[in-house]
């Protein structure tokens, strides 16, 4: 079945577009916390996009015009990407560098050139790009921040260690003056009690609890493909997902039964992370009722048993002290034909925050 993709029409943004206030020469070049720029009135990011691209290279090759228009229209300050699916530099005796795209072969050099050219063209030339990449074309994340915004620190792990990257490039954490932004591609739970399935997800959830506890000194915006649907309202067909099986296999623990991302154990742990970190689901904070047309961020293949089966697994979670500043949080895909998904099986999700009401409030939030 043919898929139809249309760029999302602009819907009257509540926040004005921000020009870059700093020249590229004044921007933060390496995120090492040395400080950048001298603009006293430079504000912090307030408009965000998260998107699981399901292969960034394929999106650049096949859907870039439409996605570029979406970015131009929304004009985000930060773009968080998951499932980059490009290998890290290094190999053949050289150490891996997860912050650089590989160019070890002719094909990889050409692919790197394609991505570099796309990210240098409007509107993406206004952004600084960070990568955290796997060793192969798997997983990986990217973060784009407008060059006019000052970043204090950038990490690539949940432990806030200087040079460590999470396995498969699943984390980019950037620290601004008054808040932190965490971009994650959370691991899929899988179907079985195996090291790369249930056990991996349990360890991840345990580490996220530890992370939100250790970083409670500053408000957090956590975005990305979190690979879980918290409540029944977050899936289109609760019974289908609750009873889903792989090749007839039924896990011994009923809490692990069902579609990965919708098992009782995952949903319970996700709720515990939110409670422990005092985090608010920005979309559900504004949208209390289920929206069967555009209330899901992932959609199954239009051909086969997953046709029309959809889940909300891409999020913006914000610290409780930021919830009153939530202006908008939207899913930008519609329907079962994946309109507005730009070639991926996930659609972009956006968040807009209002500015702090005063400098005093901004300082209080950061303390």
Q: Is the dihedral of CA 304, 307, 313, 314 positive or negative?
A: positive
d(CA 355, CA 266): 34
d(CA 258, CA 254): 9
3-state SS, residue 333: coil
Beta bridge partners of 80: 50, 143
Beta bridge partners of 92: none
Backbone phi, psi, residue 114, to 5°: -60, -45
Q: Is 225 a catalytic residue?
A: yes
CA 70 to each of CA 10, 64, 171: distance values in angstroms, whole numbers, following the listed order = 8, 10, 24
d(CA 123, CA 79): 12
d(CA 184, CA 314): 10
3-state SS, residue 68: helix
Q: Which residue out of 185, 283, 315, 342 is catalytically annotated?
A: 185
Q: Which residue out of 225, 234, 314, 345 is catalytically annotated?
A: 225
Q: How many CB atoms lie within 10 A of CB 30?
A: 11
Q: Is 291 a catalytic residue?
A: no
Q: Residue 357 burial by CB count (10 A; 0-12/13-18/19+): exposed, middle or buried? A: exposed
| Polymer length in residues for the chain | 367
DSSP string computed for 209-271 = HHHHHHTTTS-EEEEEE-----SGGGBS-HHHHHT--BTTB--SSGGG-SSTT--HHHHHHHH
* Residues marked as catalytic: 185, 225
């Amino acid at each position: 079945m043919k898929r139809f993709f249309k760029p999302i029409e602009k819907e009257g943004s509540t926040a004005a577009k921000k020009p870059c206030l700093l020249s590229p020469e004044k921007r933060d070049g390496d995120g090492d916390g040395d400080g950048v720029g001298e603009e006293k009135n430079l504000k912090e990011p307030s408009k965000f996009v998260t998107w699981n691209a399901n292969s960034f290279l394929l999106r650049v090759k096949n859907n870039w015009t439409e996605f570029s228009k979406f970015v131009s229209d929304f004009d985000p300050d930060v773009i968080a990407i998951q499932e980059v699916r490009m290998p890290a530099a290094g190999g053949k005796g050289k150490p891996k560098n997860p912050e650089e795209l590989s160019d070890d072969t002719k094909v990889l050099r050409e692919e790197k050139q394609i991505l570099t050219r796309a990210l240098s063209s409007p509107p993406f030339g206004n952004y600084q790009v960070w990568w955290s990449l796997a060793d192969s074309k798997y997983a990986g994340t990217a973060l784009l921040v407008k060059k006019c915004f000052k970043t204090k620190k950038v990490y690539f792990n949940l432990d806030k260690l200087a040079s460590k990257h999470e396995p498969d490039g699943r984390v980019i954490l950037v620290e601004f003056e008054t808040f932190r932004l965490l971009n994650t591609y959370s691991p899929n739970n899988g179907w079985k009690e195996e090291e790369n399935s249930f056990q991996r997800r349990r360890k991840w959830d345990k580490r996220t609890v530890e992370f939100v506890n250790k970083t409670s000194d500053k408000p957090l915006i956590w975005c990305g493909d979190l690979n879980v649907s918290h409540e029944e309202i977050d899936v289109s067909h609760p019974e289908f997902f609750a009873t889903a099986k792989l090749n007839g296999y039924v896990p011994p623990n009923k809490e692990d039964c069902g579609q990965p991302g919708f098992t009782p154990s995952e949903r319970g742990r996700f709720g515990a992370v939110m409670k422990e970190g005092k985090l608010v689901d920005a979309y559900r904070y504004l949208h209390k009722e289920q929206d069967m047309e555009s209330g899901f961020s992932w959609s199954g293949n239009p051909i086969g048993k997953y046709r029309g089966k959809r889940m909300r697994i891409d999020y913006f979670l914000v610290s409780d002290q930021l919830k009153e500043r939530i202006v908008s949080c939207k899913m930008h895909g519609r329907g079962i034909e994946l309109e507005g998904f730009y070639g991926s099986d996930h659609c972009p999700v956006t968040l807009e925050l209002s500015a702090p009401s005063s400098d005093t409030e901004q300082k209080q939030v950061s303390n």
